[in-house]
A and B are shown apart, each in its own frame.
Chain A
Amino acid sequence: SAVISQKPSRDICQRGTSLTIQCQVDSQVTMMFWYRQQPGQSLTLIATANQGSEATYESGFVIDKFPISRPNLTFSTLTVSNMSPEDSSIYLCSVKDGMGWYGYTFGSGTRLTVV
């Protein structure tokens, strides 16, 4: 399965600032996914990042708040903009291990605390 390197692993940020999270995969993948995991909660899909096109956002998430870049087939970034304490979560990037039935591989996550 793919190996994902996600940075930073954790950060404490001031409200009103922005944080960019990086996700590097050791193989080329068509789609990369960004999830949010709020404390004690399940995983919620933020957006799907396709190389060469705009990311597709899920209901409740907007590009102005969570801009995503996907410059090539092995790398993506998620920015959490104008942060508030409600943005304190774990952010995870993920890739499909293959077409169709295969599960996702997740990065180790970025634990964000906004103060």
Chain B
Amino acid sequence: GENVEQHPSTLSVQEGDSAVIKCTYSDSASNYFPWYKQELGKGPQLIIDIRSNVGEKKDQRIAVTLNKTAKHFSLHITETQPEDSAVYFCAASIAGNQFYFGTGTSLTVIP
């Protein structure tokens, strides 16, 4: 089955700096890659996703890149703000079916 690895497990950045979280996947058939943000005491929320037919997708300060050949994808957050502090999960799936989640990255933005 699919195996998703996520790095780093913890990340601290100064407010205004950029944050990058990386994930790799093992199943070349995976073609849908969502990212989730989980704030303390809440369930994960979808923040951005990408399909395998594009290499990059951007939504304001958040972007995701995908390298199908290398089987890795990354989340980029620019101009970080304290409210970006949360745990971020990547996931991989085939056409939006069963999701395989990474182990999460705890992001802390230092004011």
Q: Which of A40, A43, A103, A111 contacts B46 (CB 8 A)?
A: A103
Enumerate chain A residues within 8 angstroms of B102, measured Cβ to Cβ.
Answer: 42
Asked whether, in the complex, the Cβ of B89 is within 8 Å of the Cβ of A105, the reply is no
Q: Which of A71-79, A81-89, A94-102 contacts B (4 or more CB under 8 A)?
A: A94-102
CB contact list, B40-79 vs A, under 8 A: 41-46, 49, 51
Q: Which of B32, B46, B95, B101 contacts A42 (CB 8 A)?
A: B101
Q: Is A32 an interface residue (CB 8 A)?
A: no
Complex Cα–Cα for A94 and B89 (A): 15
Q: Is A49 an interface residue (CB 8 A)?
A: no
Enumerate chain B residues within 8 angstroms of A92, measured Cβ to Cβ.
Answer: 43-44
Enumerate chain B residues within 8 angstroms of A43, measured Cβ to Cβ.
Answer: 44, 89, 101
Q: Which of B45, B95, B98, B104 contacts A106 (CB 8 A)?
A: B45
Q: Which of A97, A104, A108, A111 contacts B99 (CB 8 A)?
A: A104
Q: How many residues in B have their beta carbons less than 8 Å from beta carbons of A? A: 20
Q: Is B81 an interface residue (CB 8 A)?
A: no
Asked whether, in the complex, the Cβ of A105 is within 8 Å of the Cβ of B46, the reply is yes
A104-B46 CB under 8 A given contacts A41-B103, A42-B89, A42-B101: yes
Asked whether, in the complex, the Cβ of A101 is within 8 Å of the Cβ of B45, the reply is no
B residues with a Cβ closer than 8 A to A are 32, 34, 36, 41-46, 49, 51, 89, 95-96, 98-99, 101-104
10 A-B contacts, Cβ less than 8 Å apart? A4-B43, A6-B43, A43-B89, A101-B49, A101-B51, A103-B49, A104-B44, A106-B43, A108-B41, A109-B43
16 new A-B contacts, CB < 8 A, other than A103-B34, A111-B41, are A42-B102, A42-B104, A43-B89, A100-B96, A101-B32, A101-B49, A101-B51, A101-B96, A103-B36, A103-B46, A104-B46, A104-B99, A106-B36, A106-B44, A106-B45, A108-B42
